[in-house]
Amino acid sequence: MKFRRIGLVALASIIWLSGCLHDSGLQPTEVTRTPVVRPVIDEAFVRRIDGSTATIPMMTTALQLLRGTADGLHFNTTPNAYENLINGSKDIIFVTAPSSEELDLAASVGVELEVVPVVKDALVFLANTANPVDGLSDSQIKGIYTGQLRN
């Protein structure tokens, strides 16, 4: 079975960019400077990644920080990104979790998808200032999107 990795570059980028340090409470007596080793991310590598349009800002920022440019970045929609990953024209994609149709497509050609969660989505609801509704609960929002509430 073929393996395809999703999100590993983003995960490595986020860890690398976070710069989190563990505070052990110990104070070093001597500071040792270690040179920063940046991964080689050339345009050929960038052309082998794909993703949904919603992930373009995240990947553009990551590439600009990692290599100084996002040249070569071109993302499709989620379904097209999955098709590109499954058919082997892309190596890594940044998308939402696969649908049952995408999992079935992968299985039909013997490709096993490895999903690596990197971030969580957030939804922000905006309304026109003339809208008389001044607030909705989580359950009301769920009801609207499930069709249980219509007014």
pLDDT, tens digit, 9 for 90 and up, residues 45-104:
999 999 999 899 999 999 999 888 999 999 999 999 999 999 999 999 999 999 999 999
* Residue appearing with tokens 């690398």: 16
What are the domain boundaries of the chain? 2-17+39-118
Percent of the chain predicted with pLDDT > 90: 47
Q: Is the pLDDT of residue 43 over 60?
A: yes
- What's residue 48's pLDDT? 93
Beta strands in the chain (DSSP E): 2-6, 49-51, 92-94, 111-115
For 93, the enclosing helix (H) or strand (E) is strand 92-94
pTM for the model stands at 0.60
